[in-house]
Structure formats: C-alpha cells, structure tokens
Amino acid sequence: MVFMTILSTVFTIFSTVFASFTTVNFVISVTNAIGVFLALNFTRTTFQFLFFFLMYNYHLIFTLLLFFIRFIFSFIYFTFFKFAARLFQFVFLLCDAFCSTFFLNLNAGSLDLSFSFFCSSFGLVFISFSVSLNATSLDLSFSFF
C-alpha cells in the first residue's frame, strides 16, 4: 500500500517532466488544487493525509504566485527585456509544471487505486490510471495521451 503510493508519486513526478515545457492553464491548476483538497476525504493513513494537505496548500499558493508573476513578466516581455523575461518565464513554467499535477490515491483494504492527471493549455492531456489488487495479483493500467 505504501509502495504503491511512493511508486505513483514517483511516476507522477516523472510524468510532469514531459509537460514542463508547456504553459499550464490557471483555471485547470486551481481546479486540480481543489480536487486534491477533496481527495483528503478518501485518504486513511496519516502519511497520505499530510501528503495531500501539504500538496494542496503548496499547489494553491504557488499557482496564485505564478499567476501574478506571469502577468508581470508578460508586461516586461512586451515592453522592455524580451530575452530576460522569456528566460524567467521558462524557469517559472518549469516549476509550474511540477505543481500542476492532480494526484489521487485511494486505498481500500488490499485494493490500491491510483489516478494521476495533468493538462496544459496547448490541449495536451496525459491521464494515467492503474488498479492493483494485492490479494489476486490483478494489475490493470490505463494511459491516455
């Protein structure tokens, strides 16, 4: 159960690397943060509760911060320093891609259900869905690109 949580977290982090060069929609990011907050109702262990609590707070604060930073840098980009603004935008978009992930993990006895989702404003949607049942060794995975 803990192994699946760690494995799903690692998979989610590595999956967001592929979307690090795309800009993330602000509305989708806030929606994902709310989804992570709602996922708190389905968690049981203390580790998962703390994980989702920290992930929700970090995600929402970082998303709001990046929203205003993008606005300032877009103004700078269209007025003064195009190269510097583009470089800073790339760094913040790289960080934003790591924070725009909606990750949900449900544990019901021996059934481990993990779901990860992230989306970009360019229309690229990556969905990963996996079910693992420890009692019968059933492993089902679904991915959509």
Please give the tally of structural domains in the chain. Answer: 1
Count of CB atoms within 10 A of residue 19's CB? 22
Kindly list the strands in the beta sheet with 111-119, ordered across the sheet, starting from the edge strand earlier in the chain.
102-108, 111-119, 125-133, 138-144
The better pLDDT of the pair 133, 86 is held by 86
pLDDT, position 130 = 45
SS3 101: coil
Domain that holds residue 106: 2-144
Q: Indicate the pTM of the whole model.
A: 0.23
- The two structure tokens encoding residue 49: 């509760």
pLDDT, position 84 = 59
Handedness of CA 67, 69, 72, 73 (dihedral sign): negative
